[in-house]
Amino acid sequence: MAPSKSRRGWVLLIPALLVGTVAFASVMRSKPDVRQDVAPTIMQEPADDATDQTPRTRQSSIAEVLELADRALASMDDSLEDYTARFIKQDRSESGVLNERSEMEVKIQTRHRNETNDAPIRIYLKFLAPEATAGREVIWGKDLYDGQMAVHEVTVLLSWKTLWLDPTGMLAMAGQRYPIYEIGITGLVEKLIERGQKDLDNPDVTVTITRDHEFDGRMCDLIKAQRSQPGGGEDDFSLAEIVYDPERLLILSYRSFGWPDPDAPDDQLPLVESYEYRDLKTNVGLTDKDFDITNESYTFP
């Protein structure tokens, strides 16, 4: 279902007051004292009486990480049609401002659901946290609503109308690092491959893999990549962590940290970006109704 021509025309003529209200609400949500909720993982050593004495952590390489990522992508190409999850993220905007930790329910139909792996992606989000955005709903589909995002805000001034936004426009991208269509575990793997290829032969990067790392109730592999010195570029990091589920061949989490500020009171590594997919359920049978603003279980006006 797409907005009619007359409806689209009305959308393009959103009163300046409404646009100003959206911008004002966005500014009010950004707090200068946002706390970094994510820190590097501290590995717990097994108890002395553990029966398995095989080292949990071993040396690896970027090449091996790329092999795992390629395997994960091939597995998704072969069988991942859709999924639901609880998506938790905290990252910095393009301007370097640390955003609040946010949490949302997601429903995603992937591009992998046809034989040529180019099915139109569809995404539904319902924000759970922080409190200022809890209840917000967003729907976007490559083949839906002329490519616009349907947004239902929860503030008193905006709750009466569905907003139609360009996913790469100023309002949709306010405080965001990536547009909505890059969300999801497929995009996570593809970005990992893209970044890993840049460091494939970099002697300044060392990699370890730790098995039996518990994540969301599952035993996973924790991959750590560390730089010995800054590499420069927009994707530079001092430490990157990847959680890989070897049973389902899925990457469930990615986080990266920058370099400590010598003028800061402590040596905490500043978070660059953190993305986690928890309560992940695959191939649940999502339908067109899950991406329809008239779905009676949603609150779109």
- CB hemisphere CA count around 8 (13 angstroms): 11
Residue 63 has pLDDT above 60, yes or no: yes
Predicted confidence band of residue 48 (pLDDT cuts 50, 70, 90) = low
- Alpha carbon distances (Å) from 18 to 147, 282, 299: 21, 39, 20
Q: What is the DSSP string of 15-59?
A: -HHHHHHHHHHHHHH--TT------PPPPPPPPTT-S--S-SEEE
Question: Tokens 């994540």 — which residue?
Answer: 215
Residue 6 has pLDDT above 50, yes or no: no
Predicted confidence band of residue 235 (pLDDT cuts 50, 70, 90) = confident
Q: Do 104 and 286 touch, CB atoms closer than 8 A?
A: no
Say how far apart CA 230 and CA 258 lie, in whole Å: 9
Residue 9 has pLDDT above 50, yes or no: no
CB within 8 Å of 286: residues ≥ 6 apart? 82, 84, 107, 108, 109, 122
Average pLDDT over every residue of 197-213: 96
Say how far apart CA 176 and CA 165 lie, in whole Å: 14
Predicted confidence band of residue 55 (pLDDT cuts 50, 70, 90) = confident
- Buried b / exposed e across 103-136, counting CB within 10 Å, b at 16+? bbebbbbbbbbeeeeebebbbbbbbbeeebbeeb
pLDDT at 43: 72
Question: What is residue 129's three-state secondary structure?
Answer: strand
pLDDT single digits (tens) 273-285: 999 999 999 999 9
Residue 254 has pLDDT above 70, yes or no: yes
pLDDT single digits (tens) 132-156: 999 999 999 999 999 999 999 988 7
What pTM was estimated for this model as a whole? 0.86
- Alpha carbon distances (Å) from 273 to 38, 105, 117, 211: 9, 19, 28, 23
Phi/psi for 266 (5° steps) reads -135, 175
Residue 108 has pLDDT above 50, yes or no: yes
Calculate the average pLDDT of the chain. 87
Predicted confidence band of residue 4 (pLDDT cuts 50, 70, 90) = very low
Residue 289 structure tokens: 């109704």
Say how far apart CA 253 and CA 209 lie, in whole Å: 14
pLDDT single digits (tens) 11-37: 332 332 233 334 334 433 445 579 999
- Mean pLDDT lowest among 36-45, 46-55, 283-292: 46-55
65 closest CA partner among 254, 257, 212, 214: 254
Residue 298 has pLDDT above 70, yes or no: yes
- Mean pLDDT lowest among 29-33, 34-38, 108-112, 173-177: 29-33
Say how far apart CA 119 and CA 116 lie, in whole Å: 8
